[in-house]
Amino acid sequence: MAETGFQPVSGFDLPRFAGIASFMRLPMIGLDDPRLPQVDIGLIGLPWDAGTTNRPGPRHGPRQVRDMSTMIRAQHGVSGVRPFETVNCADLGDVPPNPADLSDAMDRITKAVTRVHKAGILPVCVGGDHLCTLPVLRALAADAPLGLIHFDSHTDLFHSYFGGSMYTHGTPFRRAVEEGLLDPARMIQIGIRGTAYDSEDRAFAAEQGIRIVTIEELFDRGLKDVMAEARQIAGTGPTYVSYDIDFVDPAYAPGTGTPEVGGPNAFQALQVVRELAGVNIAGADLVEVSPPFDGSGGTAFLAASILFEMLCIIAPALAASRRVD
């Protein structure tokens, strides 16, 4: 049972438009806060987008997601899960980025997430662009490679851009495989679509044994069938969940830098997360929300809703595993 001090402020007490905006209105507990050891799940902002190859802006993502997440309430509408009462959740603040130095910025993320990880906290990260995932994986997979369930319209498996740049938001999973942070046999990428430069990324996936599910396959087979396969691929080992908001159709999530038309709707965007129940989740992220391309906040509200779905899967599993321990 979660500590009372870790409850979000209720909209019945303080209207949702009032108060300082933390993720889900949870207590703000910095990495030096004495309450840190009590935290079970830590929401962490990664306001960094130096890997963006086209339209920038995800550096503003965490703040807008915090703002819109004040509209999230305490209980899941279908399952009745109350994640904040199940385990202790907190907003751990943002990792301070260095927008002017790509390498330094990645190190900062790795260090901060390593610290969180070593404190026994399961990190749920809010980007930032998809390159953010690489330094997070360096922190979480320092000992052994992780499985990956990856929702996206792009594979992000390219070798390099612009005449040799190895670190962009189109390359993180290529790097992660090369660095041994992910186990290709336990990787699945779901929702892939849009025009392609060439087949280099898919050739790499085929060579490594990474499973790619295109949007056509996803719609043909149905979400439940594909997610059953995803659970099987991930198996029982620790698995990372990476959710790029451009997985969702841009009518539902226009606030992103590299949209691809023809994706899932918002209902489906939530359903795939519900189907993660049973996966041994070691960490998760939600990336590529770009506020300058959706001032309305609708994309960020969808992102917050997806994050809550994640918490409703992770929190009970975490509580159960600890009871076992």
Q: Which of residues 214-273 bind a copy of itself (CB under 8 A)?
A: 214-216, 219, 249-252, 254, 258-259, 261-263, 265-267, 269-270
- The CB-of-324 to a copy of itself minimum distance in angstroms stands at 28
- The CB-of-297 to a copy of itself minimum distance in angstroms stands at 9
Amino acid in position 52: T
Q: Which CB atom, from 107 or from 178, has the smaller least distance to a copy of itself? A: 107
| Token representation of residue 242 | 């990476």
Per CB under 8 A, contacts with a copy of itself among 195-214 are 195-199, 214
Number of residues near a copy of itself (by CB under 8 A) = 93
- The CB-of-237 to a copy of itself minimum distance in angstroms stands at 30
Q: Which of 9, 127, 2 is nearest to 61 (CA)?
A: 127
Q: Which of 266, 283, 295, 275 is nearest to 63 (CA)?
A: 295
User: Residue 191 interacts with a copy of itself (CB under 8 A)?
Assistant: no
Residues in the chain: 325
Contact yes or no for 65/303 (Cβ under 8 A): yes
Helix (H) or strand (E) segment spanning residue 64: helix 61-69
User: By CB under 8 A, which span of 89-97, 115-123, 133-141, 226-234 interacts with a copy of itself?
Assistant: 89-97
Q: Which CB atom, from 143 or from 163, has the smaller least distance to a copy of itself? A: 163
Q: What angle separates helix 298-324 from helix 266-274, to the nearest 10 degrees?
A: 10
Cα–Cα distance between 126 and 42 in angstroms, integer?
Answer: 11
User: Residue 89 interacts with a copy of itself (CB under 8 A)?
Assistant: no
User: Residue 321 interacts with a copy of itself (CB under 8 A)?
Assistant: no
What binding mask, one character per residue, do residues 281-300 give for a copy of itself by CB under 8 A, x or -?
Answer: -----------xx-xx-x--
| Token representation of residue 46 | 């990664």
Query: Which position has the token pair 């799940």?
Result: 41
